[in-house]
Amino acid sequence: MTKKADIGLIGLAVMGENLVLNMESHGYTVAVYNRSVEKVDKFVNGRGKGKNFIGAHSLEELVQNIERPRKVMMLVKAGQPVDDFIEKLIPLLDEGDVIIDGGNSHFPDTIRRTKYVESKGLLYIGTGVSGGEEGALKGPSMMPGGSPKAWPLVKDIFQSIAAKVDDGTPCCDWVGEDGAGHFVKMVHNGIEYGDMQLISEAYHLMRDYLKLSHDEMHDIFDLWNQGDLDSYLIEITRDIMGYRDENGEPLLEKILDAAGQKGTGKWTAISSLEVGVPLTLIGEAVYSRILSSQKEERLRAAQIIKAKVSQLDEEKEEFVNAIHDALFASKIVSYAQGYVLMREAAKENNWNLNYGGIALMWRGGCIIRSAFLGKIKDAFDHNPELENLILDSYFHDKLQAAQEGWRKVVSVAARIGIPVPTFSSALAYFDGYRTANLPANLLQAQRDYFGAHTYERVDKDRGEFFHTNWTGRGGDTASSTYQV
């Protein structure tokens, strides 16, 4: 009998095909199945021809062809299809076998599915896979979480197909229990939204204020890609600036300014509100996409609203450097906020997250890959308990150096009327975070005035609460005097 498969895969769309080709090229035999079974033969006789694949035409055949303990990975549409396949696989599998979901599932679903699958005596992994179609083929960033006992069973396969950083370390490691892997993947996507919006704001200022040509912008992004901002997204932005259509004109300016989204940025923002941490930059990035999509309404508003703005004339080269600093400083804030979200969510969900390891998983293979993530890894190696990235000496020094340019860009943008929601929200967070006395004493006074919500005092111990009868009327419940 021929060799059985090391792993099985359900879902032969492009991501699934590329991932199994990647596995096969690393020496693994893969059994493959797809709901529309004609795709199985098409793949085995097409891209998979002459390679170590076993085509299965039913789930039973798939399972029978996998070596024990069996590993079955699904790369199917997120949502109900995942639950349906789990339901169909459970009776076909034996104790200790592993079901893996490599799709873009929402982490609460993965938490639920891990518990459910474990209750049936099986093991479960929900893994983030980032890097798009090319990453899946050549080496994605992988973020697995789920049943800890399943990790040693898939570790070799996952780490061999994952992207590698320069020293050969794979961009894949165990993230944590149940939904931790998909949670970290979700935060990755939120950070991606933020990074993309930051770069877009830089471009907006260069194009509409400095009136730079696309060749000039190409050269600036090329230069930036050789310094602190060295990253995949800056690199592709450079290439986009250089791209000309069939008429020799920049294609970029012919693309409609209405952004789409698939929802992972929104999930990240919602999760920050639920956990109770400020994730302002990613929130603004999501809202910016929404505002951009309201194209028709913006066109009408543009006819009606005439802003009162100043004409400024900044020295070009100096202002380009200031934009660089604003982008870099805001990016530090965005990652600082994302890491605070992960820390708080870890507390809530009893995950023991390895923050430096997460930076390393994102260091290569995925969309947010950058040199910067190496510095984040260093910061957590230096202090695993780091409260906020902003407090790490490397990032603190960089923020100090960038502050002047950052403030200049935000103030110039406000005066000339170009929106920079992520640059400015990052600055507001930075200033709020470093301010010893915020005006929240007034909020507390207002809350006590209209709702008798009580307040603590600066001259008394924390935990001691006071109420004032602000109006001299209504006794202790001042809310009775509040008329909306």
Q: Tell me the catalytic residues.
A: 185, 192
Q: Say if residues 171 and 360 touch (Cβ distance below 8 Å).
A: yes
* Residue 52 annotated as lining a ligand binding site: no
Residue 217's closest CA among 226, 209, 207? 207
Nearer to ligand 2AM, 88 or 382 (CB): 88
- The radius of gyration of the chain from alpha carbons, rounded to an integer in Å, stands at 26
According to the binding rule CB under 6 A, does residue 38 interact with ligand 2AM?
A: no
Number of chain residues interacting with ligand 2AM (CB under 6 A):
11
Q: Which stretch binds ligand 2AM (CB under 6 A): 30-38, 129-137, 166-174, 290-298?
A: 30-38
* Residue 77 annotated as lining a ligand binding site: yes
Nearer to ligand 2AM, 14 or 273 (CB): 14
Phi, psi (degrees; rounded to nearest 5) at 379: -60, -45
Question: What does the DSSP assignment read for 41-101?
Answer: HHHHTTTTTTSSEEE-SSHHHHHHTBPSSPEEEE---SSHHHHHHHHHHGGG--TT-EEEE
Q: Say if residues 145 and 174 touch (Cβ distance below 8 Å).
A: yes
Q: Say if residues 388 and 336 touch (Cβ distance below 8 Å).
A: yes
According to the binding rule CB under 6 A, does residue 278 interact with ligand 2AM?
A: no
Given candidates 5, 7, 9, 12, which one binds ligand 2AM under the rule CB under 6 A? 12
Start-to-end CA distance of the chain, whole Å, equals: 80
Q: How many residues does the chain have?
A: 484
Beta bridge partners of 5: 66
According to the binding rule CB under 6 A, does residue 13 interact with ligand 2AM?
A: yes
Scored b (16 or more CB within 10 A) or e, 440-472 reads eeeebeebbbbebbebeeeeeeeeeeeeeeeee
CB of 135 to ligand 2AM, least distance (A): 17
According to the binding rule CB under 6 A, does residue 35 interact with ligand 2AM?
A: yes
According to the binding rule CB under 6 A, does residue 42 interact with ligand 2AM?
A: no
* Residue 89 annotated as lining a ligand binding site: no
CB of 93 to ligand 2AM, least distance (A): 18
CB of 43 to ligand 2AM, least distance (A): 11
According to the binding rule CB under 6 A, does residue 39 interact with ligand 2AM?
A: yes
According to the binding rule CB under 6 A, does residue 46 interact with ligand 2AM?
A: no
According to the binding rule CB under 6 A, does residue 104 interact with ligand 2AM?
A: no
The interface mask with ligand 2AM, positions 69-88, x = CB under 6 A, is -------xx---x--x----
CB of 37 to ligand 2AM, least distance (A): 8
The C-alpha atoms of residue 18 and residue 139 are separated, in whole angstroms, by 10
* Residue 35 annotated as lining a ligand binding site: yes
Q: Which ranges of 90-179 would DSSP assign to H, the alpha helix?
A: 107-119, 132-138, 151-161
In the 8-state DSSP scheme, what is residue 292? H
According to the binding rule CB under 6 A, does residue 11 interact with ligand 2AM?
A: yes
- Pick out the residues of the known binding site: 11-16, 34-36, 76-78, 104, 130-132, 188-189, 193, 262, 289, 447, 453
Give me the residues that bind ligand 2AM (CB under 6 A), please.
Answer: 11-13, 34-36, 39, 76-77, 81, 84
Binding site residues for substrate, as ranges?
104, 130-132, 188-189, 193, 262, 289, 447, 453
